[in-house]
Structure 1
Amino acid sequence: MTRSLLLLAMLILAGCASPAPGFIGAPRHDITLDGVDFAVFVKPNEAEVIRLGYLRRKDRDRIPGLMMQAAAKASGCDAIPHSMVTRIPGDTGEARITLRC
């Protein structure tokens, strides 16, 4: 029973994405790329990209490139190569990307 409740809680939370404090009030764009859902919060020169849902470890290598694409698509700006910063090195759940508009 406990395992079922934990799974249900994870599924409910997977659809929720709240921006970091610096992005509160920024427009949210929901984007799907290559079957992966993202919530993108856009400010004039920066985007916060949050991957929604669960991915197996072996499927995570492609996510940083998709996050860059999601930031560019949501903002209409160029995502600056190598500008992606994550809170935890190697984390594919959330990233900040610098934009050139």
Structure 2
Amino acid sequence: MSKAPFFLILCLLAACASPAPQFLGASRHDITLDGIDFVVFLKDDRAEVVRMGYLRRAERARVPPLMIRVAEQVSGCTVAGPAGGLYRSPSLPGDTGEARFQLDC
């Protein structure tokens, strides 16, 4: 496969965000905060936040607090901590691409 079609497919996939199976049926909210695009999926008292786009390693440190802010801004609730149980994130702690939160409404 030549590099051009592969790059195009990669760009198209990078623009997509779909919820984890636990968040199917959740409401979707697109938001930009401090120049970073996020997609927030809200379901009951939980939120899944997906960061969109590419960031260099040096730019990623500011993302986890922004993920909390967008979850709170979109939901109108306070983030009580990471989502647990069935909604727990499979990502490693500190992942800047995806996070799941328990909300206190």
TM-score by length of 1: 0.89
Quote the offset at 1:9 in angstroms: 1.5
Pairing of 1:5-24 with structure 2 (within 5 A): 5-24=5-24
**Matched-pair contact (CA < 8 Å) for 1:87–1:95:** no
Unaligned runs of 5+ in 1: none
Q: Does the 8 Å CA contact 1:87/1:94 hold for their aligned counterparts?
A: no
Aligned residues: 100
| Contact kept in structure 2, 1:86 and 1:96, CA below 8 Å | yes
**Is residue 93 of structure 1 aligned with residue 97 of structure 2?**
yes
TM-score after normalising by structure 2: 0.86
What is the CA distance between 1:4 and its match in structure 2?
Answer: 2.3
* 1-structure distance, mates of 2:2, 2:78: 45
Identical pairs, percent: 53
**Structure 2 residue ranges without an equivalent (≥5):** none
For 1:53 and 1:4, the matched residues in 2 are separated by 19
Question: How far has the Cα of 1:5 moved from its partner?
Answer: 2.2
1:86 CA drift (Å): 4.1
Shift of residue 98 of structure 1? 1.0
- CA-atom RMSD, angstroms? 1.6
The residue that corresponds to 2:57 in the other structure is 57
Secondary structure in structure 1 of the residue aligned to 2:19: coil
Distance 1:83 1:20 in 2: 15
Q: Which aligned runs of 4 or more in structure 1 are off by greater than 4 angstroms?
A: none
